[in-house]
Amino acid sequence: MKQRSIQRRVELTGIGLHKGVPVTMVLEPLEAEGGIVFYRSDLGVTIPMNPQNIIDTTMATVIGKDNAKISTIEHLMSAIYAYGIDNIKISVDNEEIPIMDGSSISYCMLLDEAGITEFDTPRKLIEIKKPIEVREGDKFVRLEPSAKTIFDFAIDFKHPAIKEQHYTFTFSKKAYIDEIAKARTFGFLEEVNYLRSIGLAKGGNLNNCIVLDESGIMNKDGLRYTEEFVRHKILDAIGDMAILGIPLLGSYISFAGSHKLNSLLTQKLLSQSDAYEVVSVEGSEKVIEFEKALAIN
């Protein structure tokens, strides 16, 4: 399996979830070993994607450098991870990634339009060698050794439309598109009203978010999936783990995980050299299944 980028430049325009302002995003190819790089085209600031550049996780994953920031990167990063893209330049002319419909399916469609190209440079994986965990009360996120990449997530909300939900997702590109990509972000009406009062969620509406009042779902078309809420949590977790910069070979397990805990988990993992091994994919039998999962077609 080789490193990948996109074949051609593509762009889209949408609004940012929190500031509610129009944003144009451009995706461009990068050569092998170029990595995933964000660029604020309005400020001329480049922000390489890595855990050290995460500056906020309050309501989204936010990266920043030199007084420039880009918010809500997790849905886009989730799609980029699913498509096995190692090298890409992401330019925006404001401080958020366009939210689109609140899921990652629009980004998947954009990547389909861009096409995928492979280089001769072997890909690498970060293989989990021992369990590692971050907790906050009864909430936790954990990585464990596994022959496959699995995301296992549980949530428990005291709301009649959510309650307890649990979903186990065995990673592959096809399964991601079928099972995860269309799951939308969600919020509670009272929470949305509060966020707007402090200058956030200005772009949130029923077209890009599942909104819940006290008794149920306000979106007239209902849900796209059974367990759409927990599936979106998996979508977010994939995007947050993608910030490691190379694919994960292991199991991610969580109860009520968050962007904050995911960020702490990636930092803790990288600080413990005995917890992981960077493995070259070329000629390695242990990653044959992973290679199949990332098949371009």
- What is the residue whose two structure tokens read 């990063």? 77
Q: How far is CA 44 from CA 38, 39, 94, 106, in A?
A: 11, 7, 11, 26
**Catalytic residue list contains 259:** yes
18, 159, 166, 259: which one is catalytic? 259
DSSP 220: T
Residue with tokens 């450098």: 65
Burial of 199 (0-12, 13-18, 19+ CB in 10 A): exposed
Annotated binding site for Zn(2+): 75, 232, 236
CA gap 259, 197 in Å, rounded: 22
Phi-psi region of 137 (alpha: psi -120 to 50; beta: other; left: phi over 0): left
Q: Give the residue numbers marked as catalytic.
A: 259
